[in-house]
Every structure is written in structure tokens, then in C-alpha cells.
Chain A
Amino acid sequence: MMLATAKPSNKEIREITQHYIYVRPYRPSVSKLYFPFVVKNAGFIDIGKYYEHEFYKQNIVWYFWNIVSIRKSLPVFPTEQAVFDKIKELEKHDKTGTDAHISYINQDTIETLLGEKGKKVLGKTLVLIGNTARKFKWPLHKIEVQCVSDIEVKDWNYVLVVLSFDSDFDTADEYLHLLYRELDSLVTTLTYEEQDILQGLIYFDVETTAMVSSP
């Protein structure tokens, strides 16, 4: 899916890159463009940390959309071979719970609904989910983000984040309750406006691969 393609101005790039480390897209046709990494004040090791799992890769690419508006499908890799090697090394380690693939259904609708601040809140939320999944080794294999309209209430549109677990329903339900507590901690770091966005526009549910465990 193509998002807005406006190239950032040189001034914007300078401002962003004061605090970010560069990576660049793989595709030769755009290889002259250097894109900022989203990790503030990061060094090589920190980059590796954030690239440790597939989840973060995808999330970082998601941030790229917001910052420089490139296609999601573009693979990216750091300009420095040392960082690239570090990433490959880290990828060999434990991946449990962080291999979750994030997919967006009607991304443009989601972005329109959320606006710029909402996209940041969603980004923070997805990072939190990834961290939590990794911390507790959840069998989380997919995160689907979609825009939904309520079947009865006119103009009630929201973003639904569905977490797909390789577990039975009751276990997935427990994971979601644990996520609520993590989200409560996240809320304390958000502005009032961001809290409103999270509470009013972003909702969560689970789906499972196994049968419901109890009648």
C-alpha cells in the first residue's frame, strides 16, 4: 500500500537527523535518500537492541512511514556493516513471542482516523505489545490492525488491534488481561490528549488458533 510520498525538506531532515541515526532503503532507485532511525541518541549497540526481533523491524518501518513516507515493503538496512552484523547476531537469539507479524487492513483509513498523534500512540502501543510478548514469551504470532465501524452506532469508527495467539481462548484472554496492566503503565506516560486517543479510538481483542478450552 502506498502512503503519502512527499519527500521531507532538507530542513526537516536536518532537524530529525540531529537525534537519529541513519539507515537507508535497500532499493537502488532511492538509495540516495538517507532516512533517520527512530531511536533517539542511539549508538550501534542500541540499534542492535531495537533490531533484535522481527517485531521491532516492522515497527521501525512503520515509523519510517510517518517520518519520510516510504513504502512499507521497502527493506531497510543500516549503512554501517557493523550494525548490520550486530542485528544478524541478535536475530539468532530467542525469538519467542516477538515473531508476531503486524498487518494493517486499510492503513490509509487507520491513519486518517488516528491523525498524527494517534499514529504515535498506536506505535507506542504496538511497541508495548511486542515488549510484553517478549518479556512473557507469549505465543503471539500475528497482530492485525484494522479500522472498524460499529454495526449499530452511526459514525462510531475505531481502530481494532487483534492479537492472534497460538493458544486456547482462555489462555489468550489471560494474556490480554496482563496487557491491560501494561497499558495502564503506558497511560501514565501519555499526555491527556494521547490518553483520550488510546481510550476512545484504539481497542483490543484476541483470536486464537486452538479451540475454546472450557464450555
Chain B
Amino acid sequence: MSKQPPWYPALDPTEYLKIADELTSRSESSAIRTAADRAYYAAFLTCRDRLAEKDYFTPTYSSDDHPDLTSALRRKEVLGNYGNQEFRLRRARNCINYMTDDISSATKDARPLHWMLTTAREIISRVEALPHRLQKS
């Protein structure tokens, strides 16, 4: 009996950044908003999985992971207060996802797409560079 291919194959969340990059060349608001959203999820999911692998964080795979991860990233043995950037990414993403009006620099919570992508990459890069917690101690 042949094995059915999965509906959704396993995902490396950083792949979302490639999709986001592709979407930046498009002008439709739906495209660039999706890119911003994917930037956030690339960072969130990568951080969740890498921190779990490295024993800094125990995910519950529920919505509670959002506040718990945001807090965990800010611990001094993780990213320190730079971890606040993941919070900012989420705050901007919430605005971009849920507001359907024009979003400009005057919109308090929003951030430009280039910032979303750059910030997501930087957070991922720092988390990837963390040693395993046991190695560190």
C-alpha cells in the first residue's frame, strides 16, 4: 500500500521569508500585508522551535505560546531586552492584519514591510546563534 503524500509537508518556517520576499515585488495591499504577516510567523515559529530544541522554552502549541515566547526571548540568557523586537513585530502584524484602512507612518502600531522583514531576519539570526542551554551553562 503506497503512502499518501501529506496534505501539508513539514515546514521550515524560515521558508516564509522567501515567500514574503517574493511578495514584496507586488503592489497589491493583500500581497504586502501577507508578506508582513509571514515575516512575523517566520520569526515566531522559528524562535519557538529553535528555543524548544535548545531547551530554553517549552511550547504548548497553543495561543499561550505567543506571550510565553515573547517573555522567554527577553530573558537575559536568551536575547535580553532585544527580545522586545519580537513583541514589536507581533504588534505591527496585528495592526496590519486586522486594519483594512490605509496604514501609513501616522498609524501608531504599524511598521513598514522592510522593517518587518529585516527585524524577523535579525531575530531569527540571533536565536539560531544561541548555543544549547546545557552547553551554555
Interface residues of A (CB under 8 A from B): 150-154, 156, 158, 162, 169, 173, 176-177, 179-181, 183-184, 187-188, 195-196, 198-200, 203-205, 207-208, 211-212, 214-215
Contacts and interface: CB of A to CB of B under 8 A. Distances in A.
A58 B83 CA distance: 29
A156 B109 CA distance: 17
B64 interface: yes
Interface of B: 63-64, 66-67, 70-71, 74-76, 80-84, 87-88, 91, 94, 98, 105, 108-109, 111-112, 114-115
B114 A205 contact: no
A205 B105 contact: no
Given A154-B63, A205-B87, A208-B105, 13 more contacts: A150-B66, A151-B98, A152-B63, A153-B63, A156-B66, A158-B67, A180-B82, A181-B81, A183-B80, A184-B76, A203-B91, A205-B109, A214-B114
Identify whether the interface residues of B are mostly helix, strand, loop, or mixed: helix
A66 to B, nearest CB: 24
Contacts, number: 70
B94 A152 contact: yes
Identify whether the interface residues of A are mostly helix, strand, loop, or mixed: mixed
**Of residues B74, B88, B112, which shows the largest number of chain A Cβ atoms within 10 Å of its Cβ?**
B74
Contacts of B82: 177, 180
B94 A150 contact: yes
Contacts of B83: 199
A152 B112 CA distance: 21
A150 B68 CA distance: 13
A179 B105 CA distance: 22
B81 A184 contact: yes
Contact of B112 (A162, A204, A215): A215
Contact of B105 (A169, A176, A187): A169
28 contacts: A150-B67, A150-B94, A151-B94, A151-B98, A152-B63, A153-B67, A156-B67, A158-B67, A162-B108, A169-B105, A173-B115, A176-B84, A179-B81, A180-B80, A180-B84, A184-B80, A187-B80, A187-B81, A188-B76, A195-B75, A199-B75, A203-B70, A203-B84, A203-B88, A205-B87, A205-B91, A211-B105, A214-B114
